[in-house]
Each structure stands twice: as C-alpha cells, then as structure tokens.
Amino acid sequence: MMRQYELVERVRRYNAHTDEALLNRAYVYAMRAHGTQIRASGDPYMSHPLEVAAILTDLRLDDATIVSAVLHDTIEDTEATREEIDTLFSPEIGALVDGLTKIKRLDLVSKKAAQAENLRKLLLAIADDVRVLLVKLADRLHNMRTLHHVPVDKRARIAEETLDIYAPLAGRMGMQEMREELENLAFRHFMPEACATVEERLEALSRESGPLIERIERELDAKLAASGIKAEVSGRLKRPYSVWKKMERKSVSFEQLSDIFGFRVIVDAAEDCYRVLGVIHTTWPSVPGRFKDYISTPKQNDYRSIHTTIVGPGSRRVELQIRTRDMDEVAELGIAAHALYKDGRAGDKDVLARESRAYSWLRRTIETLAEGDNPEEFLEHTKLELFHDQVFCFTPKGRLIALPRGATPIDFAYAVHTDVGNTAVGCKVNGRIVPLLSELHNGDEVEIVRAQGQVPPAAWESIAVTGKARSAIRRATRTAVRKQYAGLGRRIVERAFERAGKAYADDKLKAALPRLARTSLDDVLAAVGRGEIFSGDVVKAVYPDYKIDRAAGPAPDKGGRGWFGIRQAEGLVFKVPGAEQEDETRSIPIRGLDGDLPVKFAPNGGAVPGDRIVGILTKGEGITIYPIQSPALTAFDDQPERWLDVRWDIEDTERHRFPAQIAVTAINEPGTLAQIAAVVGENDGNIDSISITGRSQDFREMVIDLEVWDLKHLNAIIGQLKTKPVVSRVERVNG
C-alpha cells in the first residue's frame, strides 16, 4: 500500500506548488475513517482510494482532484459526513466527494430499471464538475484491475457495465488510453474464451512479426530523416478488444484482418504532419478510402490526428497515425490533458469550455436539459450521443433500452423481453409503421406489434445484431420445429400401436426409452416424425414380443403399368375387385387395364419417390396417395378399412417428374422471387405455379408447386433455398 510521503512525492513530480499539508490531512483522515475495512482481495481497504489517487497523479491532476480520490469512499462506506469534509477540507472537495457518492449509489446501472434516470443524474453530476468523471473512471479502472478477486458470478455483470457505460464515457471525453485499458480488462472477464483466443493469436503474430515491425520503423525513420523531418516512429499490434470488435463488426476472421499493425508518427508542429503524409504517400501506395484528416476537422472529443493506411515494407498493410506531441497527449489523456487541472485554476470552468470541445459539448447538453420541459427530450436528442457504439431507444412507457449500433426493432423487442421478441410481427418507430429490418437511431420510440402464436422466422437470426436476440431466435425455431415433429410422431406412433393391436400409453413408452437410445418422450416422438425411427420399432421397444412384418422390398412387376406403379407393403394387401391376382404382393394396377382403380395424389403437396406413403380408398373415386407425414391423414383415423400400406415401385430406367409443394417465407425486397426461381431452375426442377401472400410488411409467403424426380431431388432444392440470405424459412407442404 502506498505510504503518505509517496503520495506527496507523486504529486510533487508535476506540481511543485502542491499543498502538502492538504494531501497529508486527507491521507490521515481516510486512513482513520476506513479503519480495519478489508477489500475482497484481503488488502486493507485504504489501498483502493490510494491506487485511484495514483492513477490520477499519472494524469497530472490538481490537488482537489487527488484529495477527492483519497476521500471518495468515505461518505459512502464510513461514518464521515459531507459537512465534516466541507469543514476539514473545503466545500469544493466536499462537493466532489458528494458527487461521487451519489453516482456510486446509483450503481450506474446495468440496463435494468430506471436506467434513463440514473444516466441523467450521472451526466448532471459530471457536467457540474468534470473531475467527478475523472475520479469515477480512475475508480472503475482500479476495480477492473483487481476484478479477479471479486466472486465469479459478479465479474461478468461488472465487466459488461464497464463496456456499456464507463469505457464509452472515457472515449467520449477523449481519454483513449484509459478507454482501451478498460475495454481490454472488461473483455478478459466478460468474454474470457474470445479474449484468450485473440490474445494467443496476437502473441503468435507478435513473435512472427517482431522483426517486420522493427524493419518498418527503421524504414520510416530513414525516409523522414532524409526529408529533413524530425519525428518519432513507434509501432505496435492492435489491442485484443479492438481486434475482436473489428472481427465482429466486419464478420471476418483473424487472418482476414489486414491492418493489425499500427504505427504512430510524432512530430513537433502541425505542418510537419502534412509533410510526413507527403513523404509516406510518395513512397508507398495508399489504400483507397482509408485516409482521414482529423487535424483540419477534429473529432467532437478533441481528437486530432491524420490517419492513413498504406501497403508498406514487406507488402504488409499498416495503419499510420500522424500527430504532434500536444495532439498525442490530448489523444491519450483527453480532457485530463488540458491545462485547467494542472496549474491550480480548478474553478475556471469557462477556460475548460474554451479548451475542450468535449466538455463544452457536455455543458451545452446540460443547458438544453435546463431549457427543456422534461428530461426525456434531453435524453432523446442530445445526451445519448455520448455513446458512439450504442443507440438508446425508448418503449412507449419511457423505458430506456440500450442497443448496439445497427440494431433493429427485432433486437429491441428481445431486449424488452424474450416473449415480446418471439411474438413480434411488426413495429412502429416514432408513431410510424416501419419494417422490422429498419435500423434504429438514438432517441427512437419503438412500439412492437405482437401476435400470440407467432414463431420468429429463422432468417431473423441473420438480421439480429445482439447475441440475446440471436440465441432466442435459434431457441424458438428449434422448439417450434421440435414441437411440430413431435406432434406428427405422436400421431404415427399411436396409429402404429392401434394397428398392432397394442395399448399405447406415455408411461409405457417412457419405460422403453433406453431401448430406443433416447432420453425423453419428446425425443422419440420427434425422431419418428422426422423419419429417424420406424414406428414399428417403437411398438417393439414397448412390447418386445411384437413381431414386425417388414416387406423384403419391391418385386418385379408382372402386370401392366401406366406412368408409375405402387406396390403393396407391410403385410396389408388390397385386392382389386374384378382383377386377377397372381400373388399377394403384385402391383396395384394403375390405368390401362380392365378392373384398375384410378390412382391420384393428395391435392396439396403430392408425393414423390422416396416418401413413405399410404393409400386412402374412396368409393367411386379410387385411391389417393399421401405421404405418411401428411396431416390430412388424421381425417381418416377412425376409418382403418380405407387405409392401404403401399410403396413405390419405380424402375431406375424410368424418369418421371412427380408433384410436390413447398412453402417459402422470404424477405420482401426486389429480386427475391428471381433468386428463388433461379435455384429451382439450376437444380433441374420445374415450377408449375406460385401463389404469394403478404404475412407482414417484411416478409412474403410463397406456395410453390414443383415437379421433381424424387425426394432426394426435392430436398436438394429445399437445401439450396435455405442458403439464400433472402429466404427465412422453407418447408415442404404435406396436404
């Protein structure tokens, strides 16, 4: 733990006129106030405020800020009072400590209840005196450095809060160095596996590219020296969080990143920055679209620099930042780099407003709040701009929802509640109906239109930005598909038991699960519905003495046949009236022979070779062929005498197309139908007809009648359609 004289010495290094008595008095007061309190690490609690003060001495801040850091937890965690601090130190320091206490009591939030009000209070406190933010950021930085001592169940929440609130605030105030450290510490605890992977890859790249970095530095130095420019050149690899964020934003792998190397060129004057740029661009080719001049047009947080990317030595793409020493100090320290807190003028906020665009902007937003009728207007139009990487939207009741840039109403719905997302069918943004694919902006009021029984389309997963929305969509679609197959499997199983003359009960099937290598009843039923388990095997698992009469396979056809034939199977034989039967497994005649019954397919969906099929006899109409999974078969459950178990008997030399029907849910945008038709054509399918209906503003439902060779052919077309980004869902229609 830092000793009293060490704290004084740290301040004296940059402020020879420091008030040593004030620092000593604060040290002793805090030490007595915290007494025997212990941190989670086991260290004396006093070590924490001293480390916070040490971080602020690195920023070379004034005495009042350093003393406030030493005292920042006293009102909150000890018997100390605001009045006592005002008396012993000063009202100025008392106000700073009190402001920090109020922020701590807010717990800054996580994005849970009352976040809008919490964020409003925080910014009001910061705008009153920006030193509150500097101490708070230093406090959070030390807490993140020691986060490994905190219970595991709290680390992710604290790390997420740091990424959501504190790191963006540091960036908004121009404190890039602190922002990067906060981001990387949070990354390590919030996404440990991703962080470890990126760090490992960067370490390996550093070992491989160390000589290359040194070579680029030497060549840059030599070129600039030859042109008479005095400059300092330094290179480094990007930070892990920055690398991961870029991989996620651009959806690229680590190997595809082309500018992991970053170099900084520091010169004495602004005009030298442009001279350096001229030398670099006339020596190495620049990458188009990768040049930005923040010197002529500074960022709102006072950042000034020239950015360019070149194909440098070794044909490696490298990013260059060119700036002066003063610009570099502001870029790293932000608002803390200004002279206000370095020479004792802490009370002159007008000086800071002139020197710091970031703080000036913050002051203006507070004035907007003071002039407005309600804080919501302020939240919607100004304050939310603090967070470059986030957008903040509102529910109709005023609840604030924080989302990443590029988020859509789909992400918003799932952020409100999973059930809201799962039942979303439309939305209104600021009172206007807009597509669910629309990008949200700061201050938008979003109302989600819901419909019970709705299942989110699988295509939403590729549209959603947030991990919560994506995982919820995957879970909902899996559940819906599983439920559909389980319902179908139950009907097939119950029918199989009925035909076998055996009693069916869920309890009996549960007892037989080990014999079916499944862990739950739904697993078995869904597997039957998908065709992975034969229904007769389920009967045998429950009744081991049951004998399954399996057909050996199609026998040669001895009778005449029209354009396709169907063979009886599984021990059930239908004798055609008036037709001579040579044996019990002969083909059912189709047409062209005396005594044949007409055969047709189910009106919706048809059937194709490869389907397990059944025939339904209708007097005066003949036989209708259904796939075994057709829901229409439930209408004949109470008429077993009409059921015929049949199978395909198609010779390989015969090529005939068969009718099938698919339902496609596709994104409503130009070119969608052309892409779908192209897939069918490229896979040798034939479209008979298409009907299109609008389920919502974002999607269209298409029912397509196809002609295909067999089930494999049909599945190939469906599989290809699923790969198209414009397609949300494809499934076969079984009438």
d(CA 101, CA 513): 60
d(CA 255, CA 197): 13
Q: How far is CA 384 from CA 36, 130, 387, 392, 730, in A?
A: 41, 17, 6, 6, 40
Told to judge if 76 belongs to the known catalytic residues of this protein, a careful annotator would answer yes
Amino acid at position 441, single letter: H
Is beta strand 599-601 parallel, antiparallel or unpaired with respect to 622-627? parallel
Q: How far is CA 20 from CA 7, 16, 60, 345, 418, in A?
A: 10, 10, 15, 18, 57
Contacts of 733 by beta carbon, 8 Å cutoff, 6+ apart: 604, 605, 661, 662, 663, 703
Which DSSP category does 392 fall into?
A: E
Tokens of 175: 């404190």
For tokens 């601090």, name the residue: 85
Could you say which of 9, 20, 58, 76 is catalytic?
76
Contacts of 331 by beta carbon, 8 Å cutoff, 6+ apart: 174, 176, 303, 304, 305, 323
Strands of the 622-627 sheet, one edge to the other: 587-588, 566-568, 643-648, 613-618, 622-627, 599-601
- Of 119, 185, 203, 687, residue with least CA distance to 379: 119
d(CA 616, CA 442): 60
Helix, strand, or coil here: 322?
A: strand
Helix, strand, or coil here: 90?
A: coil
Tokens of 519: 């862990």
Helix, strand, or coil here: 353?
A: helix
Could you say which of 77, 217, 268, 377 is catalytic?
77
Told to judge if 651 belongs to the known catalytic residues of this protein, a careful annotator would answer no
Tokens of 477: 């679609």
- Of 210, 214, 192, residue with least CA distance to 202: 210
- Of 711, 688, 692, 689, residue with least CA distance to 702: 692
Helix, strand, or coil here: 368?
A: helix
Contacts of 84 by beta carbon, 8 Å cutoff, 6+ apart: none
d(CA 32, CA 20): 18
Contacts of 571 by beta carbon, 8 Å cutoff, 6+ apart: 549, 551, 645
d(CA 368, CA 240): 38
List residues with catalytic annotation. Answer: 76-77
